[in-house]
Structures are given as structure tokens and as C-alpha cells.
């Protein structure tokens, strides 16, 4: 079996006796991922709240589990979920930019600390985008 990038992956799932944890195994590489890279501070800044991220993970688990019975539907749902995550991320940054612009337009003095935190979040997002 190969993934979307064409990398070969092991898949030994008998469709008649599939458990949800086996479905996860089909989608995860069996090879050792190697050493965990050290995260820089900007990479460890979460892009979503923990509740929101968990909600996306739960939705992904449901999509992945559904693959056994309805592969086409599962792929369509995966596309919809990824689109939702991208739209939500875009909204987060649009809202943040809008808040800063509103403060500037009103003549509010935005603190250097607020600007530093905003720049840190942008750098984190930028770095992650380039690493995809």
C-alpha cells in the first residue's frame, strides 16, 4: 500500500476482522521515526486551543475508522476535515490581524509585548508552513 506521497506502507488488515486500532496502524508508518527533533519556542506555540485540536483529532479518528467500510466516503470526509482546519486557521489569523488593525486605527498604543507575541505566533505559523 502506498500513501499520498507514494511511500510504501505495510498493511495487513483482514477486512472481516478489523478493529479501530488496526485501521490506525494502516495509516501510520511501521518504521522508526528516528530521534524527536528539539522544538524551538515558536514551534511549540499551539495554533489551536487544546479543546479545538482534540475535536479535530476526534473527527480524524472517525474518518480513519470509517475507511474500512466506506473508503471513498472516508477520503471525502478527510478532504472536508482538512479544509475545515485550514479555514479555521485562516480565521484565527484574520481575526488577530483585524484586532491589531482596529487598535492601530483607533490610535491605541499597542504594547511592544503584544506586538512581540503577535510576531511570535506569525513566525511559528510561517515556520510550520515551510516545514510541511
Please tell me the predicted confidence (pLDDT) of residue 65.
97
The confidence score (pLDDT) of residue 131 equals 85
Q: Give the pLDDT of residue 9.
A: 40
pLDDT of residue 113: 87
pLDDT at residue 101, as a whole number: 85
| Residues paired with residue 2 on neighbouring β-strands, in sequence order | 8
Three-state SS sequence of 40-75:
CHHHCCCCCCHHHHHHHHHHHHHHHHHCCCCHHHHH
What is the structure's pLDDT at 39? 52
Look at residue 12 in the predicted model and tell me its pLDDT. Answer: 39
pLDDT of residue 7: 41
Q: What is the mean pLDDT of each run of 10 residues along the chain (132 residues)?
A: 42 45 45 48 70 96 96 97 95 87 81 85 85 82
- pTM score, whole prediction: 0.59
- CA distance between the termini of the chain: 22
pLDDT at 40: 54
In this structure, the dihedral spanned by the alpha carbons of residues 22, 26, 31 and 33, taken in order and rounded to 10 degrees, is -90
Amino acid at each position: 500500500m502506498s500513501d499520498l506521497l507514494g511511500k510504501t506502507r505495510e498493511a495487513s488488515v483482514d477486512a472481516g476482522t478489523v478493529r479501530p486500532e488496526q485501521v490506525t496502524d494502516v495509516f501510520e508508518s511501521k518504521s522508526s521515526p528516528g530521534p524527536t527533533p528539539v522544538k524551538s519556542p515558536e514551534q511549540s506555540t499551539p495554533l489551536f486551543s487544546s479543546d479545538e485540536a482534540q475535536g479535530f483529532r476526534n473527527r480524524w479518528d472517525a474518518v480513519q475508522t470509517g475507511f474500512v467500510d466506506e473508503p471513498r466516503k472516508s477520503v471525502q470526509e478527510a478532504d472536508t476535515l482538512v479544509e475545515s482546519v485550514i479555514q479555521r486557521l485562516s480565521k484565527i489569523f484574520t481575526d488577530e490581524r483585524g484586532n491589531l488593525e482596529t487598535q492601530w486605527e483607533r490610535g491605541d498604543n499597542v504594547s511592544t509585548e503584544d506586538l512581540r507575541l503577535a510576531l511570535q505566533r506569525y513566525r511559528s505559523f510561517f515556520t510550520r508552513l515551510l516545514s510541511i
